[in-house]
Chain A
Amino acid sequence: MKDMSVFALFSTLGALLAIALGVMFPALAMGRAISRALDALARQPEAEKSILRALFIGLAMVESLAIYVLVIVLIVLFRNPLLAYLLK
């Protein structure tokens, strides 16, 4: 039983830490991207369409990093493949 509580403690801690870091850095990157896009928009308002399109694609790219972290965290929390070894 001790193994089980250690396992639960560490997987929860790991998941929380992973999602915290994994959201923090993409957020910084998205902030940079948006601020640059607004700069470009202020300089060249007539290029709005292409700037916004590039911004959306870039944001989706950055956002998918956070989504990867989320998927891995969910796997660790709900479908941990290592749990099978512990229960054996």
Chain B
Amino acid sequence: MEPSLVIFRIGALLVTSTVVMTWGIMAVIVLVCWLGTRHLKQSPDRWQSALEGVVLTMQQAIEDIAPGKSPSLLPFVGSLWIYLVFANLAGLVPGLHSPTGQLSVTSGLAILVFLATHWFGIRASGWLPYLKHYVQPNPILLPFNVISEISRTLALAVRLFGNIMSLEMAALLVLLVAGLLVPVPLLMLHVVEALVQAYIFGVLALVYIAGGLEAHADGGSPS
């Protein structure tokens, strides 16, 4: 709940510890990918096999939900998954805080998902057919469709933020009440929950985008 620390400022722009943390995570991901893909070979070594495994697993997960759409969706949804796994687990490293424990970070990600839904939907079916799916069963339902669009974006942001923030806070409270090493079981729960929340965020983004893509196919509103 606390606002993050201001590390330095560029003009009127405050660079907080959350932003620096995100840069660090991006640097780690880019470094791992760069090292792993420097010498691509037909018979992969260990790093290349691991990275290929990650990409193939994500591709398969996307194919299961949106068949045939994985080439266009993998860059966005896959980036979300990889970034969120790193960001959620970063809170376990002593001295670091998860960037996703800040509402502004998760809101930013949720807004990206919101924009991506329309971007992919309009690209797939064109402006008019896409906009028509808001009045699809009946024009009376237009306000409800718009409200559901906004509320699910809000829910996406608050779910991730609430989970990560409450896990860190729970560990802190147990530490205050009970003392050293007692919060360790809670931290184990943190590992599981961080992975589950990263998966859930990506899958929900995928489901929303797939709903936008299918807007013209069946005419139903995305749930």
By beta carbon, the residue of chain B nearest A57 is B203
Of A5-13, A31-39, A67-75, the one contacting chain B is A67-75
**Residues A64 and B158 in contact, CB atoms below 8 Å apart:** yes
Decide yes or no whether B199 CB sits under 8 A from chain A.
yes
Decide yes or no whether A85 CB sits under 8 A from chain B.
no
Nearest 5 interchain pairs by C-beta:
A67-B162, A64-B159, A60-B200, A71-B162, A64-B155
How would you classify the secondary structure of chain B's contact residues: helix, strand, loop or mixed?
Answer: helix
**Residues B158 and A71 in contact, CB atoms below 8 Å apart:** yes
**Interface size, A (range):** 10 to 19
The answer for the CA separation of A73 and B94 in the assembled complex, in Å, is: 27
Decide yes or no whether B166 CB sits under 8 A from chain A.
yes
The answer for the CA separation of A70 and B203 in the assembled complex, in Å, is: 23
Nearest chain B CB to A22's CB is how many angstroms away?
12
**Residues A57 and B166 in contact, CB atoms below 8 Å apart:** no
By beta carbon, the residue of chain B nearest A74 is B1
Decide yes or no whether A56 CB sits under 8 A from chain B.
yes
Chain A residues near B65 (CB, 8 Å)?
Answer: 53
**Interface size, B (range):** 10 to 19
Interface hits, B1-41 → A, CB 8 Å: 1
Interface hits, A36-72 → B, CB 8 Å: 49-50, 53, 56-57, 60-61, 63-64, 67-68, 70-71
Decide yes or no whether B124 CB sits under 8 A from chain A.
no
Chain B residues near A74 (CB, 8 Å)?
Answer: 1, 169
Interface hits, B138-162 → A, CB 8 Å: 155, 158-159, 161-162
Using a CB–CB cutoff of 8 Å, the interface residues on chain A facing chain B are 49-50, 53, 56-57, 60-61, 63-64, 67-68, 70-71, 74, 78-79
How would you classify the secondary structure of chain A's contact residues: helix, strand, loop or mixed?
Answer: helix
Partner of A68, one of B64, B162, B199: B162
The answer for the CA separation of A68 and B162 in the assembled complex, in Å, is: 8
Partner of B162, one of A50, A57, A70, A78: A70
**Residues A56 and B200 in contact, CB atoms below 8 Å apart:** yes
Chain B residues near A70 (CB, 8 Å)?
Answer: 162, 166
**Residues B163 and A67 in contact, CB atoms below 8 Å apart:** yes
The answer for the CA separation of A70 and B158 in the assembled complex, in Å, is: 11
- Looking at A50, A60, A63, A71, the one whose CB has the most chain B CB atoms below 10 A away is A60
Whether A60 touches B204, Cβ cut-off 8 Å, given contacts A68-B158, A71-B158, A71-B162, is: yes
**Residues A60 and B207 in contact, CB atoms below 8 Å apart:** no
The answer for the CA separation of A78 and B2 in the assembled complex, in Å, is: 10
The answer for the CA separation of A79 and B161 in the assembled complex, in Å, is: 17
- Looking at A63, A67, A70, the one whose CB has the most chain B CB atoms below 10 A away is A67
A to B CB contacts below 8 Å, 19 in the list = A49-B64, A50-B64, A56-B200, A57-B207, A60-B159, A60-B200, A60-B204, A61-B155, A64-B158, A64-B159, A64-B162, A67-B159, A68-B162, A70-B162, A71-B158, A71-B161, A74-B1, A78-B1, A79-B1
Known contacts A53-B64, A71-B161, then 11 further A-B pairs from the complex at CB < 8 Å, ordered by chain A residue: A53-B203, A56-B203, A60-B196, A60-B197, A60-B200, A60-B204, A64-B158, A64-B162, A67-B166, A70-B162, A71-B158
